[in-house]
């Protein structure tokens, strides 16, 4: 019996490989979070192990990225030890035609925004299902909140017209706790007309650490696709 090919997995693998191929020797690389970036980290590690890439330093955006980088032999550094990041590779939950993003499906958007925004080149890796005409149409907007402020932040978000829900753990009782020890509220907005303004407004609510709107941060979007059984990667 032949194993079924999962087209989404193939798209993620191909786009991860394409992003890892962009990395040059002697560079500092932001390592994103999520299942697509995991393939980029794997292929980056393979290039280092084969000797094709030398003198790479990775900056992880999450505990997950750190564990994967160690597993695939990517040397790590911290933002204290470097004065720039050459390239960051990271996934996204939605991408609009202006290259604005919603991120935070893995609750890592706070560290991701720090690292991705610092990078001279931020490369986003997504499968074709992540492209939307308008942000918020398929994915709730994640907002990281300091635990003591959950109730007032939810009320403030409701006043802005959002419908907030506390993200709950899977195979863990209670709420999701981020790598920083905070909680995540996922917010449904009927329509996000001005992502830049909403990003600032949400971050201005006392108790909000960071939200998942990434406006004007992405430089390159690599999209993995499968057409007629053939995987391909295109840049937008």
Q: Which helix (H) or strand (E) holds 141?
A: strand 141-145
Task: Using the minimum distance from each CB to ligand 5RP, give the nearer residue, 26 or 223.
Answer: 223
Q: How many residues does the chain have?
A: 236
Helical pair 35-49 and 7-20, crossing angle rounded to 10 deg: 50
Q: Compute the least distance from the CB of residue 101 to ligand 5RP, in Å.
A: 8
Q: Compute the least distance from the CB of residue 205 to ligand 5RP, in Å.
A: 20
Q: Which helix (H) or strand (E) holds 87?
A: strand 85-90
Do 182 and 146 contact (CB within 8 A), yes or no?
yes
Q: Does 99 bind ligand 5RP (CB under 6 A)?
A: no
Task: Using the minimum distance from each CB to ligand 5RP, give the nearer residue, 106 or 162.
Answer: 106
Window 103 to 122, contacts with ligand 5RP (CB under 6 A): 103-109, 112
Binding residue for ligand 5RP, selected from 30, 32, 45, 162, defined by CB under 6 A: 32
Window 50 to 89, contacts with ligand 5RP (CB under 6 A): none
Helical pair 35-49 and 63-71, crossing angle rounded to 10 deg: 30
197 included as an active-site residue:
no
Window 207 to 236, contacts with ligand 5RP (CB under 6 A): none
Task: Say how far apart CA 129 and CA 138 lie, in whole Å.
Answer: 10
**How many C-alpha atoms does 110 have within 13 Å on its Cβ side?**
18
Task: Using the minimum distance from each CB to ligand 5RP, give the nearer residue, 13 or 33.
Answer: 33
Which positions touch ligand 5RP (CB under 6 A)?
Answer: 32-37, 90-93, 103-109, 112
């Amino acid at each position: 019996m032949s194993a079924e090919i999962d087209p989404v997995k193939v798209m993620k693998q191909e786009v991860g490989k394409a992003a890892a191929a962009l990395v040059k020797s002697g560079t500092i690389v932001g390592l994103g979070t999520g299942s697509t970036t995991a393939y980029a980290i794997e292929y980056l590690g393979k290039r280092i192990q084969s000797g094709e890439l030398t003198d790479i330093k990775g900056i992880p955006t999450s505990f997950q990225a750190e564990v994967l980088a160690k597993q695939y032999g990517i040397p790590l550094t911290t933002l204290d030890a470097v004065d720039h990041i050459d390239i960051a590779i990271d996934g996204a939950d939605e991408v609009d035609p202006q290259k604005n993003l919603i991120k935070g499906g893995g609750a890592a958007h706070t560290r991701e925004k720090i690292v991705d925004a610092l990078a001279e080149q931020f490369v986003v890796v997504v499968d074709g299902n992540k492209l939307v005409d308008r942000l918020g149409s398929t994915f709730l907007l994640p907002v990281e909140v300091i635990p003591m402020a959950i109730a007032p932040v939810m009320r403030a978000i409701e006043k802005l017209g959002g419908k907030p829900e506390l993200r709950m753990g899977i195979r863990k009782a209670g709420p999701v706790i981020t790598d920083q020890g905070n909680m995540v509220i996922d917010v449904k907005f009927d329509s996000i007309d001005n992502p830049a303004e909403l990003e600032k407004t949400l971050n201005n609510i006392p108790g909000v650490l960071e939200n998942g709107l990434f406006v004007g941060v992405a430089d390159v979007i690599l999209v993995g696709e499968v057409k007629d059984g053939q995987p391909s990667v295109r840049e937008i």
